[in-house]
A and B are shown apart, each in its own frame.
Chain A
């Protein structure tokens, strides 16, 4: 850590307090960041990290507390002021103009000279920043053509371009592959060597521990601990600091595998003219009391597989049987009637009604059934009662039944979706990336529900990119590559390395 040039912290936040209506989002929070330091900021969903960062960035104003940057106090600032003060923030969701080029995006908000944009200088600076930090980008390419990793790189370059001394990275690795993550970390190390202070927000503890100097942990709006990242800090200790209790290791009892509940045979989904099929002759079985994991790099047909089973996507050919009954012309409603529940990967886009009350989101698939309605008339009381029950059963926080669905945090949205799909004892559950973006406690909760389903004789198809999760839960792991199932392995008899090789398209490991 490079703290020699100034004992003065680069950033000092003191006693930050913020209320939102009845929610105390930040309770007298202190935070210090020094030059050349990476500070990890950890906390569950809704612990107040994002609020704190938004206050720093000038999106919200704190009710109380002070912020000082290099010893100078800052108050009443707007995001524009924050940028001028050298605070850069890379959000989880990027703020780029998709139809503009890389260079044009960089120059958004640049004043230019007498209203004329100075493209040549910008191009030079882009090149300099790119080569210095290993963040090269082609200035002429349109943002819509960039991969997610490249878009993130552009966001970081944009911050550096504006002279950021403090860089906030909000869950930067959630969209990256392991290789891309390594590239990001190299850039962060180079920035830190130049004296930039970086605040790194993440749920992935092992990543946090591999890059940060200090870790600040928030829980329920409070800063509960700030620890130096040395050998004494473990994965487990951080997780426990975050949720304020000991985590139970998953217990996966031995269960007898039952009859085949879901059977796909020779499913083909065309990829459109001139493209490879999305699903190529896919056959699989999911048995009662079994969790079948599906591994694969995203975009290898997992989404299509899930959608075929959910009845959203019509396969071009192939057979689907649920509990030995052939399903002809599947639709979402028909699959539901056969007892298939579905937790889509894009829970907000495909699952929930964000601006409508939570109760609407939670009865959506079953609203036409008793007891929620009769002869086309809604039974408000039954709906309210059901939703209340589920809120309690799944410990959905921050929610009354009339609260707009979108006000819930990510973990609670996922709980709401799970509660809805599990409420009617499905035969088969298809869940796609069910713990992506969730905090430790929420992940634990979801995993336990899956094991409960398994114990109750439900068949679960778990599609995930998280190998750790697949190994912890699955009885069998299928590997998808380019629309095919290239591996079907008993979890006990395989290793993450072997699965990883299959995921990359190698055939030796099988």
Chain B
């Protein structure tokens, strides 16, 4: 018995829809072994996980609030990867956006009405500029984009740490945190008394805008074409370098918006623990979403739900919180396997049967 992969002529729609669901189910089945090992019941544990993530208004909002930065970084990575600009630097771009937002949000001189829009713009620009640096290095000096974007994350992280431990240190508390932004600069809460802030809505709208950009505009077309075949794009007359540069700027800008949301909607300041690796998780989100901007939303909600639900699960069933990491990791692997089946089909074959059944001819 052998399993063989055969290429598919085309992918049926039902497969594109059902495979991610199957991947999710496979993940849960795979991880149930660990739950049993932890001495809990599988169904109660998953039940608690689900309830912790979606049960009740507060839990659901917490999940959405956690998902918002992941939507932004997921979009950032999805756009960049489409053009084969390997932006591993969403983390640093997020921090750049957060710092720009914190800076603008604390300006007393600015009129109240301009604060929120200016923070959003400044965050986008800061993240975008930070991402164009590796793009220029790549385009002009052929510096590897993976290495450059990754390393610049640490540059930005330590730049921020230096700022909050130096010039930006909060004079009131003395902690290495930046001063709070003005009250008027905080994102409005959409649903009192929860933490559902404007940034969550913004994330959803941005996903739709990015989807429109990628599917309905000539720039999106160019991004796809450059990512698919640089030579064909160049022969076809597309300004390849400009496209890569713009892709990097948009990607960085989107990651910057994640930082804006965290500052303006949640923390109201920048500090060392601002991002628990949202930029890196964005890579996983984008892969889970198969680089589809709309797919980023469910992928981000799924990741956020696992993270919020795991606390409840741990409290009620005693399964360690770390199971959340295992589920997230396993889901990516299951998704990648599922992806394989969109382009290949599996055939079962026996071994060669030459010895059995001679035919006379």
Contact = CB atoms under 8 A, between A and B. Distances in A.
Contacts of B194: none
B350 interface: yes
Nearest to B235: A350
A197 to B, nearest CB: 15
Contact of A378 (B216, B234, B357, B359): B216
Residue from the set B215, B235, B238 with the largest chain A CB neighbour count within 10 Å: B235
Residue from the set B228, B229, B234, B353 with the largest chain A CB neighbour count within 10 Å: B229
Contacts of A336: 237
B150 interface: no
Interface string B220-231: 111011001101
B234 A364 contact: no
B236 interface: yes
Interface in B238-257: 238-239
Contacts, number: 128
A76 B9 contact: no
Interface stretch (A65-73, A152-160, A170-178, A488-496): A65-73
Contacts of B235: 310, 312, 332, 342, 344, 350-351, 365
B237 A365 contact: yes
A367 interface: yes
Contact of A353 (B225, B359, B360): B225
Contact of A365 (B9, B217, B236): B236
Contact of A331 (B224, B237, B355): B237
A246 B353 CA distance: 44
Nearest to B228: A353
A354 interface: yes
Contacts of A346: 231
Nearest to A402: B10
Contacts of A331: 237
B216 A360 contact: no
B359 A352 contact: no
Contacts of B191: none
Given A61-B347, A75-B353, A332-B236, A355 B10 contact: no
B359 A21 contact: no
Contact of B225 (A75, A333, A349, A356): A356
Nearest to B2: A78
B351 A373 contact: no
A360 B218 contact: no
Contacts of A84: 352
B contacts with A: majority SS: mixed
Interface in A306-333: 310-312, 331-333
A85 B234 contact: no
B57 interface: no
| Contact-size category for B | 35 or more
Contacts of B238: 333, 364
A130 interface: no
Interface string A1-19: 0000000110010000000
Contacts of B351: 76, 81
Interface in A341-372: 342, 344, 346, 349-356, 360-361, 364-365, 367-368
Nearest to B10: A21
B192 interface: no
Contacts of A350: 231-232, 235
B358 A9 contact: no
B6 interface: yes
A8 B361 CA distance: 7
Nearest to A407: B9
Contact of B352 (A75, A355, A378): A75
Interface string A286-303: 000000000000000000
Given A332-B236, A351-B232, A373-B218, A78 B359 contact: no
Contacts of B6: 60-61
A187 interface: no
Contact of B9 (A21, A349, A354, A355): A21
A373 B221 CA distance: 11
Contacts of A360: 221, 224-225
17 contacts: A8-B361, A12-B361, A21-B8, A66-B359, A71-B361, A81-B352, A332-B234, A332-B237, A333-B237, A333-B239, A360-B221, A367-B221, A376-B219, A377-B216, A403-B10, A404-B10, A407-B10
Given A66-B359, A351-B235, 19 more contacts: A21-B9, A23-B9, A61-B347, A71-B358, A72-B358, A73-B358, A74-B353, A74-B354, A76-B351, A81-B352, A332-B237, A352-B229, A356-B225, A361-B232, A364-B233, A365-B237, A367-B222, A378-B215, A404-B10
- The list of the 4 closest CB pairs from A to B, nearest first, reads A333-B237, A81-B352, A364-B236, A332-B237
